[in-house]
Amino acid sequence: MRAEQAMTQLQPLRRLALVAGESSGDQIAAAVIAKLFQRAVPLEVRGVGGPSLVAAGMTCDVGIEALSLRGYVEVIRHLPRLLRLRKNLLERFSRWPADIFLGVDAPDFNLQLAAMLKRRGIRSYHLVGPSIWAWRPERKWQIAKAVDHLLLLFPFEEALYRETGLATTYVGHPMADQISFNPDRIAARQALGFDTDPNLKSIVEASDSDRWFCLLPGSRSDEIHQHAALMLEVAQQMAFQHPRALFLMPAASPKLHTQLRDLIARHVHAASKRIILYHGEARRCIAACDQVLAASGTVCLEAALIGRPMVIIYRMPALSYRWMRRLQLQPWVGLPNILAQKFLVPELIQSQATVSAIIDALDSQWENQALLASLNNAFFAIHQSLRRDCASRCAAVLEAALVR
């Protein structure tokens, strides 16, 4: 032990500059940094991060909210501030100086910063590859110029960069490390309070529910606008057809909880008591249910990793859809289908997403026992392929770069 401590003390302090975008990037990066700090390399980490990175031991010079922007309009409105921030970080990381830079997600911001730092001799790494497999594949050439090494969450992504010569490593998906496949439904329902909360107990006893649904309209206000009323109408119709059904709806933030509560009050009448709104708890709500109705997004992958059958929907403004449709490279939008390279689960997009079509898709899936069994097997295969101890793999790549 003394020899190891002496070797650690003899090694020079290494400096890792890090910029994480969004709370998901904060959490992914925190797990990686925690693994790095467990290794023998003396290390200092600083940059842009959130509470998870602070807890992991990073010095956050700038809070993560500085990069937590959604949509082109919001980015354009904040563009002067973002350009100043990038210039300040460039100077700060250069003067420090950083040994390597790690950008986590936020590709529009991080890849340009990475290219600037690379020109100043600071090696640049990026975790979470931009979705060139979905649209704008030509971006891979810019990415290859901007960074020295790309850490990828999905196994099929490495082949997409092969012709660029960029070094890549498939590290697996952090959610697959966190989620146990096919968790116990009863335990999830107990954790949500259905055994202890008198109001919830009375709802379950009154309906004697034998079919539980999780409604996931999205994590942004514009997605709630597009999907929530539609999902609530589905729930109301399903409640008439299936009098013993229950519907759980987790809200991603307090603001969205208020928005959803108001929508339920306006749009739902007879079935309102059987639609139960939660603050957060998406993962438990998915685990507690038999089927999921979800707006396309990362939550669909989460549902697949948990092992719950789903129907995926998505709506957006007509002009945005026409533009995105023109650039779309694959026939699928949901991550479970993209990973399987086939329609494992139904996708109802834009005008296809009607109340009757959604109900038909949910019922057809539920009534087909052979299909449900094959879905379970397919989701388990996805879970296994993505479960790679993502944080340790990332830490190993970064450690090798730091001591080089």
pLDDT of residue 189: 93
Pairwise pLDDT comparison (57 vs 320), residue with the higher score = 57
pLDDT exceeds 60 at position 69:
no
Instruction: Compute the average pLDDT of residues 317-321.
Output: 70
277 closest CA partner among 253, 252, 249: 249
How far apart, in whole angstroms, are the C-alpha atoms of residue 214 and residue 192?
A: 13
Contacts of 248 (CB under 8 A, 6+ apart): 192, 212, 213, 214, 215, 276, 278, 285, 288, 289
pLDDT exceeds 60 at position 2:
no
Least confident piece of the model among 13-17, 149-153, 173-177, 195-199: 195-199
pLDDT of residue 331: 84
In a 3-state reduction of DSSP, which class is residue 13? Answer: coil
Contacts of 355 (CB under 8 A, 6+ apart): 230, 233, 234, 237
How far apart, in whole angstroms, are the C-alpha atoms of residue 344 and residue 347?
A: 9
The percent of residues above 70 in pLDDT, for the chain, comes to 89
pLDDT of residue 361: 98
The DSSP element (H or E) to which 378 belongs, if any, is helix 369-386
pLDDT exceeds 90 at position 383:
yes
The DSSP symbol for 21 reads -
Tokens in use for 371?
A: 């299909």
Contacts of 296 (CB under 8 A, 6+ apart): 312, 313, 314, 333, 334, 347
Position of tokens 């309209």? 217
pLDDT of residue 67: 78
How far apart, in whole angstroms, are the C-alpha atoms of residue 182 and residue 179?
A: 9
How many helices (H) and strands (E) the chain has is answered by 20, 13
Whole-model pTM: value is 0.88
Tokens in use for 55?
A: 């807890």
Name the pLDDT band for 221 (thresholds 50, 70, 90): confident
Instruction: Compute the average pLDDT of residues 357-380.
Output: 97
In a 3-state reduction of DSSP, which class is residue 366? Answer: helix
pLDDT of residue 7: 47
